[in-house]
Chains A and B, each alone.
Chain A
Amino acid sequence: MFYREAGQYASSYAQDRQLLTLRQDKLGMLILMAIGFVATPLWASDYWISAIMIPWLILALVALGQNILMGYAGQLSLGSAGFMAAGAFACYNLILRVPGIPFVVAVILSGLIAAVIGILFGLPSLRIRGLYLAVATLASQFFIVWGLDKFGWFKNYDTSGIINAQAIVIFGYTMGSPAQKYLVVLTIVAVMALMAANMAQGSIGRGWMAVRDMDVAAEAMGLSLLKTKLRAFAISSFYCGVGGALFLFAYLQTVEPATFNIELSFRILFMVIIGGLGTILGPFLGSAFILLLPIFLNIMFHAILGRAVDATIASALEQVIFGVLIIVFLIFEPLGLARLWQVTKERLRLWPFKY
């Protein structure tokens, strides 16, 4: 009853093309932004900001990049953690070696560097498809991490092969506290999610979807496969690269190349699949699921069971429950959490009435 489109008409094309056409949706987004930008930094504890919100947003950004490639353009790829590593080490080296470079510029440049590498590893996509492409992109994962390990220059010849993120300085102001870092991350993620939503809705996104659904038909319609696919690879890697830089600077602060291992790539892949392929909301929900559910299970088990159950059994049980939940979701909602949200919205149209 409350969530209805009745009475809201688009009277111009511009209105029709808006990202959020419903008044209720706009209001909801405003509230969400207010919570994100104002309420959270003001009232959330340091634990919530630095251990939950920051990694969630960063991984959601990376998953968004993966979704552009996999969900929208239909190119199955497994190298997202590798591109994160490229972004993280690029950003570290840019700030280390280019005096006076502003943080935001360094982040954008590291995204671009990741994008160039992404294009390089996207080239095989012109010849191979599906699972075979996934195997080919796996090479990027191993190659990038191997290269960073092998050549000491990337790590400024640190003896343990570790890099320490420099302080985040924006307009001469050091972003040191968790809340400040959170705001930096949130701003970047919000802007990039907005860009992704726009791309997905516009001609770029339609090109991707055409290629995803049937590339021969897309080519026959006049789309250049080379451009469309490589654009998807570049943009996806850009997102991953920026995510990687933030992962280092705003979250972990100390990383070694092995942090960006194949396991992380797989987790990002699962985030996209569980969140919902080909959606913007999906990566946010998916990364919340994959990243936060184990943490909450751990907290819950310690709070409820306490010392009553052996901690080793509790830890193993958490993993079992987590695994079962993944299977349950994939069986009952193969289209992902984003689809669940859509179903909820459809229900909301009638609520609280039956018809």
Chain B
Amino acid sequence: MNYQSIRNSVLRGLTALGITLAVISPNAAMAQAQEQYFGIPSSRVGPYSAMGTGYYGGIIDYLNYVNMKFGGVGGVKLTWEECETEYNAARTVECYQRLLNKGTQKMVVFDTLGTPGAYAVINRMEPDNVVLAQYGYGRTDAADGTVWPWVFNAAGHYWGQVAVQLSFMAQQEGGIEKMKGKTVVHLHIDSAFGREPLPAMREIAKQWGVRLVEIAVPPPGLEQQSQWLQIRREKADWVTFWGAGSGMNSTAITNAARVGFPRNRMVYVSFGGAEEDMVPAGDAAKGTYVTANAVPGKFPLIQDIEKVVYGAGKGNLQDKERIGSVYYNRGVGAAAMWVEALKNAQRIHKKPGKTVTGPEFRDGYEALDITDAKLKEIGIQGMSGPFKMSCTKHDGSERFRVMQWDGTKFALVTDWTGAPDPVFIRKLIEESAAKFAGENKITPRKCS
């Protein structure tokens, strides 16, 4: 082939591509009656792929499980469409718009698995009537349901989490009064996610007399040498670590080992503390603490999914070893809340066996009352904490479990513990939400 003919074929190829693209429009598929459609903005490639494949794999497996085991929710079959976000805010917006409508069905819930993505779409929720189900991440002050009617957080937010971490440290030191004069370093990725816990952390540090040092790591966070030298210079007693992506998370451990910082003085955020983050660091990871909102393990539901879904060869994970891992279980937990909300919505709005709309689903999500008995019924008792939503309170259990990596798996160190002073955290949330409402001229809705 000479140059000219190659160019010809390139041109022809382009034309063909153009025609194909014109034919395939995102709304092409027609929906069947009595289906409930979910949009899944997964992130399966890039530095955050371990998180994305596990979490969204868990979600899809659970939806599949409900279809296969119970024939859907009250006869309504669950359907879904996936879209790749690459954990990128702009791509998340594109996915959101693409997934929003599918045929005659409209998406009712969106879960970005990431604070940057959540922030990018958070203002679109109310006009579009879509629930933003942040499952243990995202905008914290959205826990105030009067300002954010469409945003929920069923698995605890970062302010509550950092409070649990600090109180865990206090417990290890022998009481809050012993924390006075101690140095805590908040080592975080330089993004909204990394800074999210700071407002609460600063306040608690001030109250307790803790010296708080904030050190940022520019994304993607694979270079942390100078930060760890600084941590050693500051003579840190504890490090709270807010990292993203298994590359950054394991790098922190290896760097800590290099400067000789004890790993059992590091507390990882729930989103950086999974098997995929610990294993690459090898033996150095031993002793690292992690706060978890969904703990790993083969709970009855997870076992049943393995039997029903993977037994039929319909499983979403390529590596079956990952069933029951931290990210996978968290995904299952998130999807379980969607399904419980859907059940509530069908019950409240008297639409058994019918597709529900966004506002109906929202009411269902707000009516979530996840007791221990309910968790047991779902088969995840002990995997995540019990909680109850209300019109004002849009956050979940606000309780976390501390686990410790023993070199091969996580060992649970504490039971579900909440922030030492939840009233104080709540006050911070309401203040922050009120500031946002004021700046953006939002009238908080009445809740009684």
Chain A residues in contact with chain B, CB under 8 A? 45-47, 50-52, 55, 149, 156, 159-162, 164, 251-256, 258-259, 261, 295-296, 298-300, 302-304, 310-312, 315-316, 318-319, 328-329, 332-333, 340, 343-344
B440: CB under 8 A from chain A? Answer: yes
Interface pair A252/B24, CB less than 8 Å apart: no
Interface pair A312/B44, CB less than 8 Å apart: yes
- Give, as a whole number of angstroms, the nearest-CB distance from A151 to chain B: 14
Please judge, given known A-B contacts A51-B93, A149-B190, A303-B28, whether A256 and B116 are in contact too, CB under 8 Å: yes
0/1 per residue, B113-140, Cβ < 8 Å to A? 0011001101110000000000000010
Interface pair B98/A51, CB less than 8 Å apart: yes
A318 to chain B: which residues have CB within 8 Å?
A: 84
B10: CB under 8 A from chain A? Answer: yes
0/1 per residue, B318-355, Cβ < 8 Å to A? 10000000000000000000000000000000000000
Interface residues of chain A: helix, strand, loop or mixed (majority): helix
Number of chain B residues whose Cβ lies closer than 8 Å to a Cβ of chain A: 53
0/1 per residue, B90-101, Cβ < 8 Å to A? 110110111011
State the CA gap A161–B115 with chains docked (Å).
12
Interface pair B49/A312, CB less than 8 Å apart: yes
- Give, as a whole number of angstroms, the nearest-CB distance from A51 to chain B: 4
Chain B residues in contact with chain A, CB under 8 A? 3, 6-7, 10-11, 14, 20-21, 24, 26-28, 42, 44-45, 49, 53, 81-84, 89-91, 93-94, 96-98, 100-101, 115-116, 119-120, 122-124, 139, 190-192, 195-196, 198-199, 216, 219, 316, 318, 432, 439-440
A302 to chain B: which residues have CB within 8 Å?
A: 81-83
State the CA gap A47–B26 with chains docked (Å).
9
Interface pair B83/A332, CB less than 8 Å apart: no
Instruction: Please report the number of residue pairs spanning A and B whose Cβ atoms sit closer than 8 angstroms.
Output: 120
Q: Which residue of A is nearest B97, CB measured? A: A51
- Give, as a whole number of angstroms, the nearest-CB distance from A349 to chain B: 16
State the CA gap A304–B24 with chains docked (Å).
9
State the CA gap A299–B216 with chains docked (Å).
36
Interface pair A300/B97, CB less than 8 Å apart: no
- Give, as a whole number of angstroms, the nearest-CB distance from B218 to chain A: 8
Interface pair A164/B89, CB less than 8 Å apart: no
State the CA gap A254–B115 with chains docked (Å).
12
Please judge, given known A-B contacts A254-B122, A311-B82, A312-B53, whether A47 and B101 are in contact too, CB under 8 Å: yes
Please judge, given known A-B contacts A47-B100, A160-B192, whether A298 and B84 are in contact too, CB under 8 Å: yes
Q: Which residue of A is nearest B189, CB measured? A: A258
B20 to chain A: which residues have CB within 8 Å?
A: 300
- Give, as a whole number of angstroms, the nearest-CB distance from A263 to chain B: 9
- Give, as a whole number of angstroms, the nearest-CB distance from A161 to chain B: 5
Interface pair B192/A256, CB less than 8 Å apart: yes
Q: Which of B27, B124, B216 contacts A45 (CB 8 A)?
A: B27
State the CA gap A318–B44 with chains docked (Å).
11
- Give, as a whole number of angstroms, the nearest-CB distance from B442 to chain A: 11
Interface pair A159/B199, CB less than 8 Å apart: yes
- The winner among B6, B81, B98 for most chain A CB atoms within 10 A is B98
Interface pair B6/A332, CB less than 8 Å apart: yes
- Give, as a whole number of angstroms, the nearest-CB distance from A94 to chain B: 16
Interface pair B98/A254, CB less than 8 Å apart: no
23 pairs, A vs B, C-beta closer than 8 Å? A45-B27, A50-B97, A51-B93, A51-B97, A52-B94, A159-B199, A160-B195, A252-B90, A252-B120, A254-B119, A254-B120, A255-B120, A258-B116, A259-B116, A300-B21, A302-B83, A310-B318, A311-B44, A312-B44, A312-B45, A312-B49, A328-B10, A343-B7
- Give, as a whole number of angstroms, the nearest-CB distance from B256 to chain A: 24
B115 to chain A: which residues have CB within 8 Å?
A: 160
- Give, as a whole number of angstroms, the nearest-CB distance from B175 to chain A: 29
